[in-house]
Chains A and B, each alone.
Chain A
């Protein structure tokens, strides 16, 4: 029984990490219509930026901020220099997927010679162990959970109560109409890439802090978990991604306790297949993954 309770605790942390990542991913898709398959690699780039700062003797919490900055700038430039020109050229969504996959391959392989093949880990002090009602978590894990909650609340506040958030929702619903109403969609999209990039970068560092180690090859696994959470919740729906993260994170951690940790991603994939067969539009979306009508 204790094993399951422990798994539940790990699940909470896992949910937090996935939620930060999946909300960023799904906002990129929802607002800019871009399935950014390089997301996992940008997470890794940010994680390594924080790694070098951390190993220079700086605390990982400063590294987290650096990771957010690196993720934001990297995603912004990736969109400005690669995705946006192709989208302006009128490349079909399917062509964009190929471009994104090629970008992901390039980022991973440019990073490999720099950081090496070996796994890396942060120097961090997990802090005193906190116990509450049978749950046993380190201070770092509790901080990750609180951080994720704060980020989710800020995203909610941003989308719901600010002019920028309103402009983002308008751009997501109909970019042409939004532009005609005087919304500077170009700048809104820049803001989206900066904000989601920061989420992506933080997710990369937090994922590295939560697991014992990470490597360039972790990117593909991150991406699968994020895709599963985003598609489950309904792609393009930030609240859906939060629910998706909750379900995927909990189920994968509990299954790791029951079956074997090696199959975490397989379980995530199983959920993804079930969603695609039973409810392709996801839990929240009206359209989502369903074929476009025209």
Chain B
């Protein structure tokens, strides 16, 4: 029971971090990053190969690059940095010239293809079977199977959540964040005021990538395995559902969405008895995620906690806030 609670808390922390990052990229800046889960996966894979022993260990039952056995904070930092580095070429290809809906489909295609490549290219990251026996952080000093370690992991995850939240709240409330919202609402107007849309989008895309990588590193340290089947492209849609339900552009909404959709929804359906043919319940879960997105976009596109209207205080009843409600 205790183990169940700590597992749930770590998952919640990881999902909150991921949703905060996606909210910055999608909710605040308006980039539809359909390959978000790829950045989480890169963080996880990097953290895994940085912390694992060389692939000759354990009888060499899995093959992968790297295996550096680095001590605790380095794999997590490495995971975050690797995702940020990946965001640079992807962003340069996708964000510079393409129309926004093309950006979305290009990123979606990237997500599907990245998974296909990793699944088929076994020598790189052990293919479809994925990596197992990833050593948990600090496992050489504390036994991971003790309640103390579990609590410690929850604590470290919570610290990361607080850190990420602080960074993102600061970004969103800063003049830079205001520029991002201006970009989302009217790109042409923002560039007419001398803002460089590509530079802004690239910055946000890379920051989002770094945070997504961190979330992947935290997750892989806890579950100790990572395979292509856990980062299929529909996983990104779950996070999008969380943001849309919680409230696009609102950090509290992103946290609420993370608790409601990936954590709450999946946990609630865990207790549904398996009925009908094999795989009926998981399939219906995905249908429900789709319904959730379509339902919210139709009836309440601003989400449960709408983004606060920000009005320039100097002029009461002035030209209005710096955002209008658009979809």
Contacts and interface: CB of A to CB of B under 8 A. Distances in A.
A277 B285 CA distance: 37
B104 A266 contact: no
Contacts of B285: 109
A237 B188 CA distance: 27
Interface stretch (B7-15, B150-158, B171-179, B275-283): B275-283
7 contacts: A35-B101, A82-B294, A90-B327, A93-B100, A97-B101, A269-B113, A273-B93
Interface of B: 30, 32, 34, 93-94, 97-102, 104-106, 108-110, 112-113, 116-117, 120, 188, 233-234, 237, 240, 244, 276-277, 279-280, 283-287, 289-291, 293-294, 297-298, 301, 326-327
A102 B289 CA distance: 8
A102 B296 CA distance: 12
Contact of B120 (A105, A263, A291): A263
Given A99-B294, A106-B287, A269-B109, A113 B277 contact: yes
10 closest A-B pairs (Cβ-Cβ)? A106-B290, A109-B286, A102-B290, A102-B293, A109-B283, A93-B101, A269-B113, A289-B102, A112-B283, A97-B104
A215 interface: no
Contacts of A235: 102
Contact of A227 (B99, B100, B105, B301): B105
B233 A272 contact: no
A290 B116 contact: no
A4 interface: no
Contacts of B326: 92
A94 B104 contact: yes
Given A220-B112, A224-B112, A291-B97, 7 more contacts: A86-B298, A94-B104, A99-B294, A110-B287, A113-B279, A113-B280, A294-B188
A115 to B, nearest CB: 10
Nearest to A216: B283
A221 B112 CA distance: 8
A293 B298 CA distance: 28
B283 A105 contact: no
Contacts of B97: 276, 280, 289-291
B276 A37 contact: no
B283 A110 contact: yes
Residue with the highest number of chain B CB atoms closer than 10 Å, among A112, A272, A292? A112
B106 A272 contact: yes
Interface in A278-294: 280, 289-294
Interface in A237-294: 262-263, 265-266, 269, 272-273, 276-277, 280, 289-294
Nearest to B97: A280
A105 to B, nearest CB: 5
A129 interface: no
Contacts of A86: 297-298
A116 B277 CA distance: 9
Nearest to A217: B232
A7 interface: no
B173 to A, nearest CB: 24
Nearest to A92: B327
Contact of A277 (B93, B100, B110): B93
A94 B104 CA distance: 8
A271 to B, nearest CB: 11
A172 B158 CA distance: 52
B98 A96 contact: no
Contacts of B244: 98
Nearest to A95: B327
A269 B97 CA distance: 18
B113 A265 contact: yes
B306 to A, nearest CB: 16
A117 interface: yes
B120 A101 contact: no
A43 to B, nearest CB: 16
Contacts of B110: 269
B287 A99 contact: no
Nearest to B232: A220
Given A91-B327, A290-B99, A101 B283 contact: no
Nearest to A264: B116
Contacts of A101: 34, 108, 237
Contacts of B279: 112-113, 117
A240 to B, nearest CB: 15
B276 A105 contact: no
A103 interface: yes
Contact of A224 (B93, B102, B113, B298): B113
Contacts of A227: 105, 109
